[in-house]
Amino acid sequence: MYYVPKRRVPVVVWMDSRRMWRGHLFLDQRGGGQHCQTLVEKLNENLPFIPLAVGEGDTIELIHKPFVFRVTPGAGAERTEMFTRDARLSRQEGVEVVFRDGSTLMGTLWMALTHESQRVSDFLNDQVDRFFPLIAGAAVHLINASSVMRVRVLQPSPPVPMAPGGEGHDPLGGAVGS
């Protein structure tokens, strides 16, 4: 029997603003100098059902991703397990996200820039059926773009970080884009 080595990351999966499941997602352990798979990469795999280990007995529940609103890494999840920030250019925007059920979430949207003049709308229009990170205080939420009804930009866009490596202010305290 061939097993793919995995590591478990605690998460809370929100199917709307009230229903949520706590459990562990399984991330690929990559070798050969590759970075370990992140939650955003796992969620953005082209597979609609994702296994979640729940409860003390580790029962497996297969979550249908199109119906997920957001995934929040749980206590103990490492920052590097959430998403990579290896983009050369990046920017953060303060936004309010309004979900399909009317619930809202405010935070900082971190986006890797494909071009310097990229707007939030350009970024979101590239996220069809994908998850993107929203940083709210000390928490990171991975938002399913297809569950979003609208996004309100709360402040004017800051200047694009032009320094090599795209360094900028990181709301979580680390170097962005490094």
Partner 1 sequence: MTLPLDHYVPKRRVPVVLWSDELKGFQGQIFLDLDGPGHRHQTVIERLNERTRFLPVAVGEAGQIHLVNKGKLARVTPGPNVISTDVLARGFGPAREELAEVRLIDGAVLHGRLWMPLQRDTQRVSDFLNMQGGSFFPLLTPTTIHMVNASMVLLVKLAECAGAPLGAEGDTHAVEWGPPG
The four Cα atoms 11, 17, 20, 25 give a dihedral, to 10 degrees, of: -30
What separation in angstroms does the CA of 171 have from each of 71, 107, 145?
A: 19, 10, 21
Sheet of strand 90-99, all strands in order from the earlier edge strand to the far edge: 70-73, 139-144, 131-136, 104-112, 90-99, 148-153
Q: How far is the CB of 3 from partner 1 (least distance, A)?
A: 5
Near partner 1 by CB under 8 A: residue from 12, 17, 44, 51: 51
Of 58 and 86, CB closest to partner 1? 58
* Residue 31 near partner 1 by CB under 8 A: no
* Residue 49 near partner 1 by CB under 8 A: yes
Please choose, out of 42-50, 92-100, 138-146, 156-164, the segment that lies near partner 1 by the rule CB under 8 A.
42-50
* Residue 61 near partner 1 by CB under 8 A: yes
Q: How far is the CB of 16 from partner 1 (least distance, A)?
A: 10
Give residues with Cβ within 8 angstroms of 121, minimum separation 6.
none
Please choose, out of 31-39, 54-62, 70-78, 146-154, the segment that lies near partner 1 by the rule CB under 8 A.
54-62
Residue 92 contacts residue 112 (beta carbons within 8 Å)? no
Near partner 1 by CB under 8 A: residue from 22, 30, 35, 60: 60
What separation in angstroms does the CA of 64 have from each of 17, 47, 52, 173?
A: 16, 9, 10, 33
Contact set with partner 1 (CB under 8 A): 1-8, 15, 21, 26, 29, 47-51, 53, 57-64, 66-67
